Chains A and B, each alone.
Chain A
Amino acid sequence: MTALLTTHGLAKHYGGLRAVDGVDFALRAGEIRAVIGPNGAGKTTFVSLVCGRIAPSAGTIRFDGQDITALPAHQRVRLGIGYTFQITSVFANLSAFDNVALSVQRRIADRGGIAGLRTGVMDALSRTGLADRAGTIAGSLSYGHQRLLEVAMGIALEPRLLILDEPTQGLSDGEIDGFLALIRDIARQATVLLIEHNMQVVMALADRITVLNAGRTLAEGTPDEIRADAAVQQAYLGAPAP
């Protein structure tokens, strides 16, 4: 099995607080992996370390065989690690087109070309169902559409690993169904690392699940294994499994 992403003893300490405390993690190319855990378990800190938004206190990160621990975030993106934000942070004063164009022009420039901007943008917008909103200013889109735009910016980078931080947060049930289909579609070309609170979404999508608790890996396995895991139930419910 070749791992696309591995972390070794990855840690982030804030003063005395161990937000991430020695996580060993391996992600196989092509899978959909969900990271779950109670609030404050270190999920967002963990993926922020992976994509380079924050620097680790200890440990190493390897992506596709290359040690990327010291690489700045923007270069990790260019290696193929895409990240979508937990709190929607589209460029509110730019049009939806321009938001996605920023991703597409980056990818095009990296591959030494200049053509194909418009097709690339419209393609990403169509996949997320936003094609008819291209000219709309992002800040005036509905919340659900802004989440979709955020994902469109992510897939327009054509990443090999797409990290989605709570993509369904605040969406209605109907919108979530559309989202599931979209993420399955993305997973045909990219490996997906997903932080998610909604267990139905996790169980429906994930090939494997990693459970974090207090900065450490508590359990890892298929959805069925995790469902049956006593330690996980205790962490979530605060009571020993019967």
Chain B
Amino acid sequence: MSGGRSAEGPVWSLHVGVVAGLLLLNFVLPDYHHGVFARILVLAVFAMGYNLLFGYVGLLSLGHAMFFAAGLYGAGLPMVHLGWGVPAAFSTGIVCGLVLALAVGLLALRTSGVAFMIVTMMFAQALALAVLYFGQWTRGDEGLVIAQAQRSLDLGPWRLDFTDPATRYLTALALFAIVLSATLAIVRSRFGRVLVAIRENEERTRMLGYDTFRNKLSAVVISGTICAAAGATYAILFGYVGSSFAGIQYSILPLLWVLLGGSATTLGPLIGTLLMYYLVDGSNDVLKAWLPDWRFSHLGVVGLALILLVLFFPRGLLGTLRQRWAGWLP
């Protein structure tokens, strides 16, 4: 986004390198971590969708779980109840997220700052309650399991079986790579420049002739759709659709991942998701080993991490790196 395009080279090699490295990991990771990474890649897509709005436009939503859940249920419900195949279910999930994001954006963008945070939280809460209310179809907390046979795709002579670990990993990676390139393209485009301008000074942007409302609405819709794509993919790859994904906790987690990895950086969401997952995982093991009687769930770690990040490390890992050493980092 700087004046010169001199950083073209390193930017592309970095991103291609990250994707290639993740591809390589498919063949070397031990079983447990292989499964964890597939999950992290999907959740990182969720975080990237969140980052587009929070990082680049400066809109802090506390309700992004609703978009993930829209994708999750939009894809999962028709598969379970109507027996739909993967392509139709995946598209439905994405369309659900898109429509929801458009509706929420039209309403919530009439507010700003703290009110925007609370309004998004309220909408997400309403959706989470609706999932419980329609328990006869969603089975609430318990959730739905999508039959293994349904989670596959026939492509002419090939058959993609999403219950197979390698297929699952590579599908997650494909989604990740697509969304990463899309994010990179957006933030380096003229549209991306306008989004950052809105974050920096909305009034000034308006006085340069930009309809800031429409630009923000586009950002909400793109962000919500990416999160819905993550949700739909999650349902298809892991075959589980449960109400916990609609809860407030899954609105807070992408915020935490993005803060940790570095907001307004393209790779921050991946790094934040990865680190937080292993931090929570590791701290659970350590606590269990040292203090077997303690009942301290991962939420405590999440809480502590949020406070420490906001206090001492508001730019996150890549944000700090960019500020100190690598100004070219997108």
- A: which residues have CB within 8 A of B? 51, 53, 72-75, 77-78, 83, 85, 89-98, 101-103, 105-107, 109-110, 117, 134-135, 153, 157
Contacts and interface: CB of A to CB of B under 8 A. Distances in A.
Contacts of B203: 53, 89
A135 B2 contact: yes
A111 to B, nearest CB: 12
B209 interface: yes
Contacts of B208: 77, 102-103, 106, 153, 157
Contacts of B193: 98, 101-102, 105
Interface string B182-220: 000000001001101100110111111111100000000
Contacts of B4: 135
B14 interface: no
Given A78-B209, A83-B207, A93-B200, 11 more contacts: A53-B203, A74-B210, A89-B203, A91-B197, A94-B197, A101-B190, A102-B193, A102-B208, A135-B3, A153-B208, A157-B208
B3 A98 contact: yes
B1 interface: yes
Contact of B196 (A78, A90, A94, A157): A94
Contact of A102 (B2, B3, B194, B211): B194
A156 to B, nearest CB: 9
24 contacts: A53-B203, A73-B206, A74-B207, A74-B209, A75-B209, A77-B208, A78-B209, A85-B204, A89-B203, A94-B200, A95-B1, A95-B2, A96-B3, A98-B1, A98-B3, A102-B197, A102-B210, A103-B208, A106-B210, A107-B209, A109-B190, A110-B209, A135-B2, A135-B4
A117 B193 CA distance: 13
A31 B41 CA distance: 61
Interface in B19-78: none
Nearest to A77: B209
A94 B327 CA distance: 12
Contacts of B206: 73-74
A157 B209 contact: yes
A53 B205 CA distance: 12
A109 to B, nearest CB: 8
Contact of A89 (B1, B2, B3, B204): B204
Contacts of B212: 74
Contacts of A93: 200
Contacts of A77: 207-209
A105 B212 CA distance: 15
Interface in B149-173: none
Residue among B3, B196, B204, B206 with the most chain A CB within 10 A?
B3
A95 B3 CA distance: 7
Contacts of A117: 190
A91 B207 contact: no
Nearest to B200: A91
A53 B200 contact: no
Contact of A91 (B3, B204, B210): B204
A11 to B, nearest CB: 22
A91 B201 contact: yes
A56 B149 CA distance: 65
Contacts of B207: 51, 53, 73-74, 77, 83, 85
B1 A102 contact: no
Nearest to B5: A118
Q: Which 10 A-B pairs have the closest CB atoms?
A: A97-B3, A77-B209, A135-B3, A91-B200, A134-B3, A105-B190, A78-B209, A106-B209, A89-B204, A74-B211
A84 to B, nearest CB: 9
B207 to A, nearest CB: 5
A53 B212 CA distance: 13
A73 B211 CA distance: 9
Contacts of B201: 89, 91
B205 to A, nearest CB: 7
Contacts of A73: 206-207
A73 B205 CA distance: 11
Nearest to A89: B204
Contacts of B200: 91-94
Given A89-B203, A101-B193, A94 B1 contact: yes
A98 B209 contact: no
A27 B150 CA distance: 71
Nearest to A136: B3
A78 B208 CA distance: 8
A141 B208 CA distance: 21
B63 to A, nearest CB: 27
Contacts of A105: 190, 193
Nearest to A108: B190
A51 to B, nearest CB: 7
A94 B196 CA distance: 9
A157 B204 CA distance: 13
Contacts of A98: 1-3, 193
B197 to A, nearest CB: 5
B86 to A, nearest CB: 37
A109 B206 CA distance: 15
Nearest to A114: B190
Nearest to A100: B3
